[in-house]
Amino acid sequence: MAHLDTISRWITATTERTLDQHATDPVPAAAHLPEAAANLRHLRTELLHAVDRLRTLLINEDDLNGSTSTVAGPVETITELAREYRYARNWIDTLIGDAARAAYAQANPGRSVRRRYVNPGDTVLVVLPHTDSCRRQNLAGHATPIKVGTSDARLRLPGSVNPLYLSHADAGIYRDPTEDRLYILQADEAVPGH
């Protein structure tokens, strides 16, 4: 059974926009939602695994045959993961509740976007998202050729001899959680007269 992406469905139901549509919105809170969702998705999975491991220990009665740390260690891990999960969830709630994001979404319909799957080593043209980092570097919204890496992307700014490295999130590269593949987004442009 394919992994169901409950985080994406929850954000779509809450904001009436998909994560892909948020990624193309020219508002930092929207542009950061896909990365925040990926982080929450990862922490939620880790928390589920940690709880399952503790449950297995208790079912197998390993807590009765070992030291007190047999249970204490997994409980500490769960506590730490729960804390990180709470921070990640709070960050998403902040992004969803952002006034500029909500105002933009209300005033502008979500763009129709297509995914184009890419692999490390590919050179592709992307429109850089409006993340805080891209905005600080005056890169947001510009169509730029990038070389896809395994965890970052390389681009060369006009007039620069040295390449600039951006994280996948800042380079407009996303990971499909159900297929575990990288993709970029291409906005479907409306055909004039239609």
DSSP-H helix ranges across 61-147: 62-65, 69-97, 99-107, 132-136
Q: What are the residues whose beta carbons fall under 8 Å from the beta carbon of 42, sequence distance 6 or more? A: none
- Model pLDDT, residue 123: 95
At how many degrees (to 10) do helices 69-97 and 99-107 cross? 50
Which residue reads 């030291």 in tokens?
67
Question: Residue 167 in 3-state DSSP?
Answer: strand
Please say if the pLDDT value at position 194 is more than 50.
no
Please say if the pLDDT value at position 90 is more than 70.
yes
The pTM of this model reads: 0.85
- What pLDDT band is residue 1 in, cutting at 50, 70 and 90? very low
Q: What is the pLDDT of residues 120-168, one digit of tens each?
A: 999 999 999 999 999 999 999 999 999 999 999 999 887 788 899 999 9
Please say if the pLDDT value at position 63 is more than 80.
no
How high does pLDDT run on average in the chain? 90
Please say if the pLDDT value at position 67 is more than 80.
no
Q: What are the residues whose beta carbons fall under 8 Å from the beta carbon of 64, sequence distance 6 or more? A: none
Count CB neighbours of 103 within 10 A.
11
